[in-house]
Amino acid sequence: MATILDGKAHADRMLEAVRLGVEARKAGGLRAPGLAVVLVGDDPASQVYVRNKSAACAKVGITSLEHRLPAETPQAELDALIDRLNADPEVDGILVQLPLPKGLDSKRALHRISPTKDVDGFHPVNQGLLLEGLPGLRPCTPSACMSLLAHHGVDLKGLRAVVLGRSEIVGKPMALMLLEQHATVTIAHSRTRDLPAVCREADLLVAAVGRPGLVEGSWIKPGAVVVDVGINRIEDEALGARIFAAEPKKLETLRAKGAVLCGDVRFGEAMQVASAVTPVPGGVGPLTIAGLLTNTLQAANG
């Protein structure tokens, strides 16, 4: 049986480090870091994320400033808000919650955020710094995954890592961070030929795809470390019966509640083959917010 890599416990450690950093700033006569969160429209999932971010800020002493705009906000108005936040000396970090409603250009909004306040690490300047291996604000999800791997003593040097997914938010930056730590990295994606064979080469498999239960136990090299970034809500019982074959309790929950969250990896199957696996929920999810607040403190400290 694999070890479960507890993301919640590691997120708590990261948040405690941020809390101490905020206290140290205040002890030095500086104000608490300020994080501005911009939420456009009323997407229910985004509202939950924003609420969770504000609650986490409160726990560590970061001031969170929410800006809610209606879904029909014109781009120019969003631009103007970002400009104001860029110029506001009380704001250290700016986060524009994605996805933006139809009609708004998210790339344009993200590129407008000052790179020094870009706590999501999505600005091309920060992505460029990462590419060059220089310090900057790095995307929260992959940097928190790296922190989790470091905490568990996973030696990345020379290890075969496969990153499934090539998004700017997770897949690509994760691959760069692993490369920086001297892993031998393959990025696989929707067009990769013979995905199971590619995955089977991985000593470390990171799945960031958004396809529930895509990665089967037979795709995993015995003893591999598996990081499951995917967060998928499934309601389909037939799908559940397939992907939870080795997790009867999860299938029961799906039947009882009508929906469950699951990752891109079949957790029950992975537990029988891998040496360590992150669960969903309770794995990478909580780490992402911890990464965001770590970045906010970093942005405040300059």
Active-site residue set: 53, 97, 120
Binding ligand NAD (rule: CB under 6 A), the pick from 2, 5, 164, 224 is: 164
Q: What torsion, rounded to 10 degrees, do the Cα atoms 116, 117, 121, 124 define?
A: -60
Distance CA 246, CA 236 (A): 17
Classify the phi-psi angles of 226: left when phi > 0, otherwise alpha if psi is within -120 to 50, otherwise beta: beta
Is 21 annotated in some ligand binding site? no
- Contact at 8 Å (CB) between 288 and 144? yes
Dihedral sign computed on CA atoms, order 235, 227, 50, 113? negative
Is 167 annotated in some ligand binding site? yes
Residue 58 Cβ vs ligand NAD, minimum distance, rounded to whole Å: 20
Contact stretch for ligand NAD (CB under 6 A) within 113-121, 176-184, 203-211, 219-227: 203-211
Enumerate residues 28-87 that contact ligand NAD by CB under 6 A. none
200 near ligand NAD (CB under 6 A): no
Contact stretch for ligand NAD (CB under 6 A) within 62-70, 82-90, 165-173, 241-249: 165-173
Residue 285 Cβ vs ligand NAD, minimum distance, rounded to whole Å: 4
Binding ligand NAD (rule: CB under 6 A), the pick from 14, 39, 195, 262 is: 195
166 near ligand NAD (CB under 6 A): yes
169 near ligand NAD (CB under 6 A): yes
- Measuring CA to CA, which residue among 70, 58, 183, 53 is closest to residue 120? 53
CB closer to ligand NAD, 59 vs 233: 233
Residue 301 Cβ vs ligand NAD, minimum distance, rounded to whole Å: 24
**DSSP structural state of residue 218:** G
Binding ligand NAD (rule: CB under 6 A), the pick from 284, 290, 293, 297 is: 284
Backbone φ, ψ for residue 117 (5° rounding): -110, 5
159 CB-near residues (< 8 Å, 6+ apart): 183, 184, 203, 204
Q: How many chain residues are in contact with ligand NAD, going by CB under 6 A?
A: 23
Is 165 annotated in some ligand binding site? yes
80 CB-near residues (< 8 Å, 6+ apart): none
Cis before residue 222, ω within 30 degrees of 0?
A: no
Binding ligand NAD (rule: CB under 6 A), the pick from 127, 143, 288, 295 is: 288
Is 217 annotated in some ligand binding site? no
290 near ligand NAD (CB under 6 A): no
Contact stretch for ligand NAD (CB under 6 A) within 73-81, 218-226, 227-235, 294-302: 227-235
Q: Where would I find the H helices in 113-161? A: 124-132, 140-151
Backbone φ, ψ for residue 18 (5° rounding): -65, -45
- Measuring CA to CA, which residue among 121, 118, 174 is closest to residue 145? 174
- Contact at 8 Å (CB) between 181 and 146? yes
Sheet holding 63-69, edge to edge: 63-69, 34-40, 93-96
Q: Which residue is nearest to ligand NAD (CB)?
A: 167
Residue 75 Cβ vs ligand NAD, minimum distance, rounded to whole Å: 22
Binding ligand NAD (rule: CB under 6 A), the pick from 35, 50, 91, 208 is: 208
Residue ranges for the known binding site for NADP(+) are 165-167, 231
Binding residues vs ligand NAD (CB under 6 A) = 141, 164-167, 169-171, 189-190, 195, 208-211, 214, 229-232, 284-285, 288
